[in-house]
Chain A
Amino acid sequence: MRENLPVLQVVVPLLAAPLAFLVRRPRLSWLVALGAAFWAFFAALSLLTGVLASGAIGYEIGGWEPPWGIEYRIDELSAWVLVIVSGIAAVVLPFARASVEREIERDRIPLFYTALILCMTGLLGIAATGDVFNVFVFLEISSLSAYGLIAMGQNRRALTSSYQYLIMGSVGATFIVIGIGLMYSMTGTLNMADLAERLPAVAASRTIPVAFAFLAVGVSLKLALFPLHLWLPNAYTYAPSAVTAFIASTATKVAVYMLLRFFFTVFGAAFSFEVMHLDRILMPLALVAIVAMSLVAINQENGKRLLAYSSVAQIGYMVLGISLASVLGVAAGVLHLFNHALMKGSLFMAMGCVMYRVGSCRVEAMAGLGKTMPFTMAAFVVGGLSLIGVPLTVGFISKWYLVQAALEKGMWGIAAVVLLGSLLALAYVWKVVEVAYFRPPPDGPGVREAPLSLLIPTWVLVAANLWFGIDAKTTAGVALRAARMLLGAGS
């Protein structure tokens, strides 16, 4: 089974999706989804250990040798992203049961889980495949199911948010497929490794820079890089709580993965940064994202929307690291993929607990929750501290590498902006904390603490924030290896 893991990683959840629909009963379809997520997590972990022990693992689908057949190829980076996606799914699904029963009509719950597993499958597929067209196929699977998931939100604005995302997301996906098509027209291959070999010969043509540009814009739309982030805040705000927690921690991360794959593995760092000067566009946008979006977050009145803008700012950190195009910088970006998934996951899950009891995520509605929902708000505080980057949390580790990468290049200002971003994060996190701890709860029936089935998964992620902040050797080690691999610096 071990040699088939790269494909089973994706196929098992893909088969579980229709099953979750066919069993019809909400509880049963939840169980199917849970099983799929745990399987995926197990498979991803064993792939990661395999890759770390003995290098990249390839798998030829149907026995067709690449570049003719589709190849699945798991290296340090893809295994890392597989672990993030499936790990978050494995924590969000136990959380989802109670939360979804509260927020979604009973007869649509099986559909919900079907879409959720499909979304996860798509994201896993993007990370696992070594074929660029396959990336597009899985991107569509994950995006379409995500549109459906967001549309299931309680608020009627969920529909328009989903529609907005659909339009922007489809534009992005179209750009990506155009880019892929142009590359195919010049090289006649879709296999990533093969493309990487053949592209330099035709790089001087006009077609390849055009393909590059289409891919850059398409991927930036998907990862919500400022100013292409407009779909994100509404989508995160109005989606059901469990969906927000899952998508916020995974979807944009996988888009960052695509960025790394296309521009480092396929085009190669030399072409992307020395010929096309991708950094000249990514770096300023990332810096603006960090500052401007954090400032916007400070002014939000809805907790989920506040965190959504914070996500756009945090994506700026990842892109910033990548745009430095050094081992440390890329490692910082890759590390922040994981770390940000942990912090945003726990914060959005804490918001889910609030939603479950209070029925609203408006900041105003959280008055007094520090007393009435102490464990939920404590989770929010720890997640928030991690976002700020307090030592002994994962946020600190990300900052450590990012600032170091900037200083290594003598980029003073950038180190300062990174730290300024931390302080802005303090402002928006503390906005919620002050309301929760300093305002008296409103009169009327008291609010109780969220049930354990919500609290335990939330605290699992909170604990992970601390664990990987105190012992970051493993995560930083993997990130550094992935960065060296991407930059072709050997391991």
Chain B
Amino acid sequence: MAAVAIALPALGAFVVLALGKWPNAREAATLTTGVALFALVVSMIHPVEDGTGQGWTLLEVLPGVTLGLEVEPLGLVFALVASLLWPVTSLYAIGYMRGHHEENQTRFYFFFAIAISAAMGVAFSANLFTLFAFYEILTLCTFPLVTHHGTEEARKAGRVYLGILLTTSVGFQLLAIIWTWQIAGTVDFRPGGILAGTASKGVLSALLVLFVFGVGKAAVMPFHRWLPAAMVAPTPVSALLHAVAVVKAGVFTILKVAVYVFGLDLLGTLSSTPWLAWAAAATIILGSLVAFTKDNLKARLAYSTISQLSYIVLGALLANEAGIIGGGMHIAMHAFGKITLFFGAGAVLVAAHETDISRMHGLGRTMPITFGAFFVGALSIIGVPPAGGAWSKWFLGLGTLEAGQLGLLATLMVSSLLSLVYLLEVPVRAFFGRPPEDAHHPEGIHEAPLPSLIAIVFTALATLTLFVHPGLLHDLMTMVVSR
């Protein structure tokens, strides 16, 4: 079934390619595939809750090294988020790409579907080798999306993107994987981990450093530059890939490595764990501070993402149950909140042709729904009720207390305050600010195209719903730590 979840979007990609001449049919293909994929992933919930998750070995690449898949609760959380937001983003993209008169749309939808297929592969991989393979495919197939416009700026951004992501993954992560294979004799994900007792604490500590920095997609500083660079991509790409699929594949990998390769018991005893937790904390604060200085809305959101991703990395490194639960839930909570914010940024670009926050003053009266949704998304990122983000922050806070790290708790609080200011500034000024003199904001109500608007409202409502019904997420994450 996991294999079908990977094959389905890949198949959809080729249907998209075949239907390139008929835009409506092409988009219908994307949406149908997306809904079918989500339905498929939802159907996996019950077996996992009953504890009858399955594993499959697709083929053996080298003796003992297999391309293998399995459905387990953590992967399911990631897969649910990505597969639900894919059709929603596609709906949004229809309005955005047409409204913004983008070129090469067939190529765009094609690589988009391939990227989702790779994300599913990451979510359902049963060992480090499989995960690494899909991780790299995800990097490569998003490259044409980042450089979609083909301009000099896009080319340069593409270099940074590929450069950092491949340098970290090949230089550190691959080394860590081969090393794991060397000392543990397996690269499978197993409850409780595979590394305990295989090598000295010093070696394992070094290995952990290689893993945390080797997963460049988690954007722990100083390997974060690729994420702002990727913002040259069309907004749907930034929204789904660089707020959800790609970056979450990164933090997901770190959670997975923490729980199933190291195991929480071992993780808590390594000498590098606290240092890395502080590196994540530094990223949280620095990301927020840099976000302050950005006037370009997408750039501000990108730095906010960098900061928020490190919440999850931190959660993993707390090495206790609350931290893992909080981190896992934050994958979903941040995804819904941040995608809403990106949808908003794109809607402003399409409807009012503005990219800078200082020029959005007063736009709230023209685009009330967009900025209303933006407000909800911002609440979730800040982590206050009635938005879903409150729950993940709650558990992360509990985790820091359980670990006895008051400094880290303070970090979380300070960062929340910072995000409160730099995120809420946008809707507040849009609703209450005075438009700049030379701005040509449309008269009356002028929102983004309808498909985009539906998507924005959907994700904003989902953010609110997750506050009321976080049960499924919490249950799945509890299963992860109790397996």
Contacts and interface: CB of A to CB of B under 8 A. Distances in A.
A430 B59 contact: no
B166 A391 contact: no
Interface residue SS majority, chain A: helix
Given A389-B170, A391-B133, A426-B166, A470 B175 contact: no
A438 B151 CA distance: 8
Contacts of A65: none
Given A471-B59, A473-B63, A476-B62, A430 B162 contact: yes
Nearest to A415: B175
Interface in B134-171: 136-137, 140, 147, 150, 154-155, 158-159, 162-163, 166-167, 170-171
Contact of A390 (B60, B140, B171): B140
Interface in A251-285: none
A52 to B, nearest CB: 16
Contact of A407 (B63, B140, B147, B179): B179
A159 interface: no
B262 interface: no
B interface bracket (residues with beta carbon within 8 Å of A): 20 to 34
Contacts of B150: 437-438
Interface in A475-491: 476-477
Given A385-B140, A422-B170, A472 B175 contact: no
Contacts of B154: 438
Contacts of B162: 426, 430
Contact of A419 (B61, B132, B136, B174): B174
Interface in A440-491: 469-473, 476-477
A286 to B, nearest CB: 19
A392 B134 CA distance: 10
Contacts of B184: none
B481 to A, nearest CB: 29
B63 A470 contact: no
B460 interface: no
A23 interface: no
B181 interface: yes
Question: Taking chain B's interface residues, is the majority helix, strand, or loop, or is none over half, making it mixed?
Answer: helix
B465 interface: no
Interface in A382-399: 385, 388-392, 397, 399
Nearest to B155: A438
B182 interface: yes
A400 interface: yes
Contact of B175 (A390, A392, A416): A416
A423 B147 CA distance: 20
A392 B65 CA distance: 12
Nearest to B154: A438
Contact of A476 (B63, B133, B155): B63
A473 B129 contact: no
Nearest to B163: A426
Given A419-B170, A426-B162, A438-B150, A391 B178 contact: no
B67 interface: yes
Given A391-B129, A419-B170, A473 B175 contact: no
A403 interface: yes
Given A426-B162, A426-B166, A434-B155, A473 B178 contact: no
Nearest to B67: A470
B174 to A, nearest CB: 7
A203 B163 CA distance: 51
A415 B162 CA distance: 22
A408 interface: yes
A407 B61 contact: no
B62 A403 contact: no
A404 B155 contact: no
A476 B60 CA distance: 12
A420 interface: yes
Nearest to B60: A473
A391 B60 contact: no
B180 to A, nearest CB: 10
A408 B185 CA distance: 12
Given A419-B171, A423-B167, A397 B182 contact: no
A334 B471 CA distance: 55
A476 B137 CA distance: 23
Query: Which of B129, B166, B175 neighbours the largest number of chain A CB atoms within 10 Å of its CB?
Result: B175
Contacts of B163: 426
23 contacts: A390-B140, A391-B129, A392-B137, A400-B62, A403-B174, A403-B178, A404-B182, A408-B182, A415-B175, A416-B175, A419-B171, A422-B171, A423-B166, A423-B167, A423-B170, A426-B163, A434-B155, A437-B150, A471-B59, A471-B60, A471-B61, A472-B61, A476-B62
Given A388-B170, A403-B174, A404-B182, 18 more contacts: A385-B140, A390-B136, A390-B140, A392-B137, A400-B62, A403-B175, A404-B181, A407-B178, A407-B182, A419-B174, A420-B171, A423-B167, A423-B170, A426-B162, A426-B163, A472-B61, A476-B63, A477-B63
Interface of A: 385, 388-392, 397, 399-400, 403-404, 407-408, 415-416, 419-420, 422-423, 426, 430, 434, 437-438, 469-473, 476-477
